[in-house]
Amino acid sequence: MSDTIWFAEDGAKNVIIRYRCLQTVYSGRSRFARIDIVDTAEYGRMLFLDGIAQSAAQDEFIYHESLVHPPMLMHPNPRSVCVIGGAEGATIREVSKYPQVSRIVMVDIDEELVGICRQHLSSWSEGAYDDHRLELHFADGRRFLEQAEETFDVIIVDLSDPTEDSPAVFLFTREFYQVIFRRLSPDGIACFQGEDLQPTRLALHARMVNTLSSVFKWVVSYPCMIPSFHEMHSLILASKELDTRTVDLGHRLRSQNLDLHYLTPFFLQGLLCVPGYVERAYAQHPDLITDDRPSLYQV
């Protein structure tokens, strides 16, 4: 075993996760992040940004289906969708499965990363970057929405963690959530990457939920277990007027001709809930995330 190569995820100071590496596909830096793409024995090809796992070929569908389809199914007739982030292209892949959608706007700050993903992770996007409905912008997502004049039925915020010096830091604040609120149609739905649900790292998720609740009338979080992350992750739904608890997502999924691998009508019936320790964390971390008090990802 002396010739075995291991790729170590060095995004945490107390835990190191090592993946047996078959080959390094790409290693370099963009303007915004260190980028590593490696082929692993357990999870297939994986993308790491600044040493933190972002996606794996074997289970990325769990995260991306959980991120995209609840808000898309919750909206009565989504026609326009905006995706903030999502360089791998898997988020727009899932959005493009809805034929009623006429406009998909994707905004990612890192043009180099998107190009690398299109070259080395083409199975993630499955041609979604060539969809005629897609309008791709390389820009700061917050600034783009601040300057936009249109509204969207669904906004999906698929960001990397707000680590120190990350451009994502100010896309987790109350001020940014207020921008999203203004850019949603009256019955619009937003969904956010909600960080991990490890009992020792709940502060960021809990503060996100409380901050969103200060802006939106209805906010609900839900978990998804992602094996390659070795953790339970979370997503957060927010709506201006629609009570997310009243929508039968299972029934709506049955009416759609969607090719999904993770979500089923029965599974969706119990999706929108979190464990008790997470609910208690919302009371334990009441401080809102603001531009003058941003919250960093705790490594």
Task: Enumerate the active-site residues.
Answer: 158
Give the pair of three-digit tokens for residue 53: 């796992």
Alpha-carbon torsion 253, 77, 220, 212, what sign?
Answer: positive
44: left (phi over 0), alpha (psi -120 to 50) or beta: left
| 3-class state of residue 127 by DSSP | coil
Q: How many of the other CB atoms lie within 10 Å of CB of 26?
A: 14
Report d(CA 113, CA 138) in Å as an integer.
Answer: 11
Report d(CA 132, CA 130) in Å as an integer.
Answer: 6
Strand-pairing partners, residue 5, are 21
| 3-class state of residue 67 by DSSP | helix
Helix (H) or strand (E) holding 181: helix 174-183
For the chain, the residue count is 299
Which DSSP symbol is given to 281? H
Report d(CA 239, CA 213) in Å as an integer.
Answer: 10
**Residue 133 contacts by C-beta under 8 Å, 6 or more apart in sequence?**
96, 101, 102, 103, 104
Tell me which residue has tokens 């008790």.
276
- At 276, give phi and psi (nearest 5°): -60, -40
